[in-house]
Amino acid sequence: MSAAAATVVAAALAGCGSTTYFAGRQLPPSGLKNRVVIAIQNPSAFTKGALEIVDAYYDIRSGYTGQPASFSLSGFGGALPISIQSMPEEQTAYVYGSGDGSLTIANYGGEKTSGTVSGLNGPSSSIFATRNGTWVFAANQQAHVLTVVNQVTGASYPLSLPGVYRVSVNPGGSMAIAFVQNSNYAYYPRQLTSAQTLNYSGGPSTWPKAAIDCEPQNAPGWCLFQAQSPDHLDSTGNYYGEPLTFDRPVKAVFSADGGTAYVLNCGPECGGSKSSISLLPIAPMIFTLGQPSGLLPCNLAPCSNAFATPITNILVPAGASNALVTTNTMYVVGQHQMPDGLFGGFLTVLNLTTNTIVPSTSASPNPVSISDGVAGATSRMLQADDNTLWIGMTKCDRGERINSGLAYGCLTMYNTNTAKVMLLEPFSGDLTGIAGVTGLHKVYVAQGGQVYIFSTVDGRAIDNQYVTVSGTAYDVAYMDAVTDANNTVY
């Protein structure tokens, strides 16, 4: 009787024979409605990578009845996967393999992969695809190019930019911005019209003043521009002037309305002077044909061009190397150098209505101490249930906390309502991935090469014995999230 009852329950949980579960999404082959995918390195002696699925409702790797014994995204052949760009609204993900430089397209609905992106120029230090799947932008630091791939036509444009190591793409998939390591400048690509292709086909002497490279040079389809102040107008009708100066910019995040790019100036953490946020309008940098409009700001007031406005900078003294935007609030994470020379992790909350740091109080300190890192250490950020913000650091065992004898785990849970911080777990290795299982009040994390689960209610650890993996778990993603916003900020 108990076996029969279990079968009935399993059938009910599978949807009573229905083929959809919400938002018109098809029930996947596994029959699971709450799936977390894990990017695993070296799962066996003969395989360098795998994408394993776990049931995030029961926190098990197998089916509810024990069969099948495991689930996976079939067909994955990438080596040493390190990141999952998850797009649950599109039922798609892009998985980057650091071992072979591959970018694999994963089909959530069919629970299988559908090939890799071609046209990349070697390993990528940063890579993103647009939501519509048309464009891929990759910072190929070893090859010194920002690569633009058109997945519809198969065309690839390697735009020369020595030292490029980060690229950020806006959620709408209409603008990309690139950054060079140890530089104070920013760059953006733009697709060319037929007339521009003809006008710029004579080589660098025919390019706009702000153009760094146009490819292919005899009939360019794309150009890469330096972000410059619009103080002058060149013979091609493009405004240019002095390069816009930043302070070791490392990435950009975007406003809720999509109109503003917030450039994160890493400052002292990356060898610069002052950490801050610089505001840039997206409209002048849109790469879609016929869509760019308006002017970039200038460096200082008064601007030489009467139509330009000075750039807005928000000083963030505690550090600014990663950030997450929600409505009119920005949560900024960075490392601040302490008197002993080590770095301490801090979270600063900004009010984007006034472009100021939210005032600190005794009940709600701002900035607030979080997990440490070292200069340039990577971090992960994600919003989850119960008004929680989750922050993961790497190299947290080398920061100020361990030197001061304090707890120095790599995972921080922050309550956005109470402004309270909880450091979770002692040091268990680098925190490299976070997935918020929304509605079930839990998060999955990849930490020290293994998978752990935590409650968003109180931060307690949830039994993870049935989700541990063979190999090194490096990233996690919630496949059945409601929106694409449920994705780790890289």
Specify the DSSP element, H or E, that contains 6. Answer: helix 2-13
d(CA 384, CA 364): 20
In contact, 382 and 456? CB cutoff 8 Å: no
Strand 71-72 versus strand 81-87 pairing type: unpaired
In contact, 178 and 167? CB cutoff 8 Å: yes
pLDDT for res 21: 84
d(CA 459, CA 454): 6
Least confident of 3-12, 232-241, 320-329: 3-12
Strand, coil or helix: 398? helix
Give per-residue pLDDT as tens, 233-255. Answer: 888 788 888 999 999 999 999 99
In contact, 410 and 377? CB cutoff 8 Å: no
Reply yes or no: is the peptide bond before residue 216 cis, omega within 30 of 0: yes
Q: Which residues neighbour 242 within 8 Å (Cβ) at sequence distance 6 or greater?
A: 228, 229, 231, 298, 299
Give per-residue pLDDT as tens, 175-229. Answer: 999 999 999 999 999 999 999 999 999 999 999 999 999 999 999 999 999 999 9
Give per-residue pLDDT as tens, 24-78. Answer: 899 999 999 999 999 999 999 999 999 999 999 999 998 888 888 889 999 999 9
Confidence bin at 4 (pLDDT 50/70/90) = very low
Taking alpha carbons only, the member of 255, 95, 88, 91 closest to residue 171 is 255
Residue 354 CA from chain centroid, whole number? 25
Residue 198 has phi, psi (to 5 degrees) of -65, -45
pLDDT for res 305: 84
Confidence bin at 406 (pLDDT 50/70/90) = confident
Higher pLDDT among residues 85 and 17, named by residue: 85
Residue 15 has pLDDT above 70, yes or no: no
pLDDT for res 17: 54
pLDDT for res 1: 38
Residue 296 has pLDDT above 70, yes or no: yes
